Amino acid sequence: KAGVTQTPRYLIKTRGQQVTLSCSPISGHRSVSWYQQTPGQGLQFLFEYFSETQRNKGNFPGRFSGRQFSNSRSEMNVSTLELGDSALYLCASTPLAGGRGDTQYFGPGTRLTVL
């Protein structure tokens, strides 16, 4: 099976712009989670989607949003970009939602740089 894919891999934006990142989970996986990874902060949970519904949400401002399509592909959007949004954004998929104990399979990430 193909792994989790994320596009684009690299992105450079300026403050105030908005950005959309895409994630395609492993075939058959229905849950997609998004994380923000910055040096020293580790991985911060953004949100989780299952069957096109947001099931869990982290402590991020409303500028961060996401959605999931019927084929389980997911997008996350960040509006009014700030310098502090520069990070590696990781997507992970699992077969089930809130599947306690399910291993998360990660994509390669999208490196976002905000100038």
Partner 1 sequence: AQTVTQSQPEMSVQEAETVTLSCTYDTSENNYYLFWYKQPPSRQMILVIRQEAYKQQNATENRFSVNFQKAAKSFSLKISDSQLGDTAMYFCAYNFNKFYFGSGTKLNVKP
Residue 34: closest CA among 2, 66, 7: 66
Task: Determine the interface stretch with partner 1 among 14-22, 40-48, 63-71, 72-80 (rule: CB under 8 A).
Answer: 40-48
Q: Are 86 and 39 in contact (CB under 8 A)?
A: no
Q: Closer to partner 1 by CB, 79 or 108: give it.
A: 108
Question: Could you say which of 21, 48, 74, 114 contacts partner 1 (CB under 8 A)?
Answer: 48
90 counts as binding partner 1 under rule CB under 8 A = yes
d(CA 96, CA 109): 21
110 counts as binding partner 1 under rule CB under 8 A = no
Count CB atoms within 10 A of the CB of residue 71.
Answer: 10
Residues in contact with partner 1, counted by CB under 8 A, come to a total of 23
Give strand pairing partners of 53. 50
Question: Could you say which of 45, 67, 75, 95 contacts partner 1 (CB under 8 A)?
Answer: 45
Helices vs strands, H then E, count in the chain: 0, 11
Please give the residue ranges that form the binding site for partner 1 (CB under 8 A). 3, 33, 35, 40-43, 45, 48, 56, 58, 90, 92, 98, 100-101, 103-109
